[in-house]
Structure 1
Amino acid sequence: MIAFRKCHGPPQIVGCWWRPSHATCTLSFSTSSRVRSLGGTSNPNEYCKDLVLKHDYEGYLTAQFYPRQYQNGYYALRAFYIELSMIKEAVSQTSLGQARLLFWRDAVRDIFANKPPRHPIALGLYQATQTSRLAPYHFQRIIEAREQELHAQSHLTTESITSHAESTASTFLYLLLSLLNLPSATLSHAASHLGIAQSFTTLLRAFPFHASNGLMIIPAEITAKHGVNQQQAFIRGETSKALEDAVFEFATIANDHLITARDMFQETGGKVPQEAMPVFAAAIPVISILRRLEAVNFNVYDAHLQARDWKLPWHIWRGYYKRTF
């Protein structure tokens, strides 16, 4: 595990393990429509799997550790999450985004009424509901959080962005636990903190993309504290000591949530129950991002941060079989 120390000059972490998430996986509506027209509804499982493979490399890697009988359900849930994650960037008007979210709100209702719409992801989700006890509330919570993004894309406080992360990334992990039929307060608590860490590190890795669209993903209370020049970050695409300090603080919060998730398994020596490890394997990519942030002194514009971690498949495999993260 890593303990960090803040130094003068660019922020650094010294002699430590992170107390250990994409750019958010995205898919444009136009691409989705095109793929659906190529036979998606005739083979929804393959459609969802292909979607994850193309747009969520890390999610595809962890999919391999789900029991075979749950893999189609996993791909359907992940595809649902991908589909919704892009709506904000895909629409030019709030009303268009609301219309797409309304479709999914109605689709979830119809799925649980045993009349899923002819959409490959909806059909895949319907199949998953036949073998697992998935709660419609979790789907609706994610939809509601994505709708809030349409109206307020930036966050003023850490509390606000934490609440949003819990409503999206953490809630998605709750769905994955439900997919595996693993009701447990301990697992849910750990998943809550892991989801927040995953959400924050995903945002940090995607910082250049969001900044190019004029969006500051770090809460205003943190950027104001460090005196971040948003014009320098947005228009010039440059780092600065102030920005690196803000990134360091935000990454530290993510790191603390990851430690809290890990601490939930202290009674078992830090080992996650084998049946739950497919879900918690999602922590391994989070650790990878945090370590690479450390390696570039929290410069979110460093190209090395965007490069794919070629060791990640091995790290996920090792973490899964050691039952640790």
Structure 2
Amino acid sequence: MLSFNAARRCSSTIFRRYSTTTAETPQDPIAYCRELVRKHDYESFLISKFWPAGQQQDGYFAIKAFSTELAMVQDNVSVQTLGAVRMQFWRDAVRDIYADNPPRHPVALALHQTTQRASLPAYYFKRIIDARDEELQTTSYPTSDALVGHAESVSSTVLYLLLALRGLGSAEDLAHAASHVGTAQTLATLLWSLPHHAGQRRLPIPLDICARHGVKQEDVFRYGGGATGIDSAVYDFAVLANDHMLTAREMFKGTGGKVPAAAMPVFLAGVPVTTFLAQLEKVNFDAFARSLTMRDWRLSWKIWSGYYRRMF
């Protein structure tokens, strides 16, 4: 394993080369962010169509690209030390963005543009970085509560930033609902990516749920969907995700379930979650079913319908 200093020198060289290339061949930061989201977070790309064109949509892509960059670190580094250095780069980048001196990385440049136009607390960006950094050192979560706390840090915090982008950062009721949608979003994502994580010898289902159903990590790594008790554990995990969605919707019971129009672009994040959980139920909670890897061609329509009904 590389020493921390050696890894840091390696990482610095990579980013220096990138910056040199960027200086020689200028690239539109927002276009870069848009393409990154399209390639690696297609559901969010579909949702972008319902953000007002211009500065609001540009800010949406900047925030989502930042989240995507950090989420990809775990799979894009060969050793933990390099991942830690990558996280330090983003800590320094956030510091420099708010000091009006962003590094020449397109996501950082796009975020800088966004922070010049909207009041986005730096704390939220730091919280996401810290949570993703901790994720590099975690192969499983001991309890459901531990995972829920992580989910709020990585996904709910992104929604807090998007609420702030819409000028709704001080609306506590919306933030409360967003915390539950974000949590459900992370849980659903982990369920969808369970086969991938198992292949990397990681088990995203909390150990307390696994213990309840007699699921052994090594069996999941070896047998996948054939592991004893795995479908029952997936069911409990999916119920936890769905409970968070129900709690989020409960926040809008006074308006018949309708979200304020200004906040609806943010809460569209709940539509893909609901869609995936319904697909998972159809395959009897077999998270390893091949059909779950295929995109739901109706998702665009469901997002459109949710937007105009103001429901998720």
TM over 0.5: yes
The one-letter amino acid paired with 2:28 is N
Given the alignment, which residue of 93, 97, 101 partners 2:87?
A: 101
User: How far apart are the structure 1 equivalents of 2:73 and 2:249?
Assistant: 32
Given the alignment, which residue of 123, 128, 136 partners 1:142?
A: 128
Residue 254 (structure 1) aligned with residue 237 (structure 2): no
Could you tell me which residue of structure 2 aligns to residue 46 of structure 1? 31
User: How far apart are the structure 2 equivalents of 1:80 and 1:147?
Assistant: 14
Could you tell me which residue of structure 2 aligns to residue 218 of structure 1? 205
Say if 1:112 and 1:136, in contact at 8 Å, map to a contact too. Answer: yes
Could you tell me which residue of structure 2 aligns to residue 167 of structure 1? 153
The one-letter amino acid paired with 1:86 is M
Change (3 A) 1:78 1:38: farther
Identity in percent: 49
Report how far residue 235 of structure 1 moved.
1.6
Given the alignment, which residue of 267, 273, 276 partners 2:254?
A: 267
Deviations 1:115-146 (A, max 9, x none): 11111000000110111110000000000001
User: How far apart are the structure 1 equivalents of 2:201 and 2:26?
Assistant: 37
Could you tell me which residue of structure 2 aligns to residue 65 of structure 1? 50
Deviations 1:246-279 (A, max 9, x none): 0000110110000000010111111000010000
Deviations 1:269-300 (A, max 9, x none): 11000010000011000001100110000001
Q: Between Structure 1 and Structure 2, which shows a larger proportion of helix residues?
A: 2
Change (3 A) 1:40 1:74: farther
Deviations 1:128-169 (A, max 9, x none): 011111000000000000111122231000110000001110
Say if 1:132 and 1:178, in contact at 8 Å, map to a contact too. Answer: yes
Report how far residue 229 of structure 1 moved.
3.4
SS in 1 for 2:94: helix
User: How far apart are the structure 1 equivalents of 2:140 and 2:198?
Assistant: 11
Report how far residue 232 of structure 1 moved.
3.1
The one-letter amino acid paired with 1:316 is I
Please report the RMSD computed on the Cα atoms of aligned residues, expressed in angstroms.
1.9
SS in 2 for 1:237: helix
Structure 1 residue runs of 4+, over 6 Å off? none
User: How far apart are the structure 1 equivalents of 2:25 and 2:61?
Assistant: 14
Change (3 A) 1:175 1:41: farther
Given the alignment, which residue of 205, 219, 222 partners 1:232?
A: 219
| Number of residue equivalences | 295
Say if 1:41 and 1:119, in contact at 8 Å, map to a contact too. Answer: no
Report how far residue 213 of structure 1 moved.
0.8
Could you tell me which residue of structure 2 aligns to residue 192 of structure 1? 179
The one-letter amino acid paired with 1:279 is V
Change (3 A) 1:41 1:247: farther
User: How far apart are the structure 2 equivalents of 1:187 and 1:40?
Assistant: 42
User: How far apart are the structure 2 equivalents of 1:211 and 1:175?
Assistant: 31
The one-letter amino acid paired with 1:55 is H
Provide structure 1 residue ranges, at least 5 long, that are not aligned to the other structure.
1-28
TM-score of the pair, normalised by structure 1: 0.87
Provide structure 2 residue ranges, at least 5 long, that are not aligned to the other structure.
1-13
User: How far apart are the structure 1 equivalents of 2:223 and 2:157?
Assistant: 36
The one-letter amino acid paired with 2:47 is T
Relative contact order, CA 8 A, sep 6+: which one is greater? 1
User: How far apart are the structure 2 equivalents of 1:41 and 1:155?
Assistant: 42
The one-letter amino acid paired with 1:236 is Y
Within 5 Å, which residues of 2 pair with 1:278-293?
278-293=265-280
The one-letter amino acid paired with 1:205 is W
Could you tell me which residue of structure 1 aligns to residue 6 of structure 2? none
Residue 155 (structure 1) aligned with residue 141 (structure 2): yes
TM-score of the pair, normalised by structure 2: 0.91
Report how far residue 88 of structure 1 moved.
1.4
Report how far residue 37 of structure 1 moved.
5.2
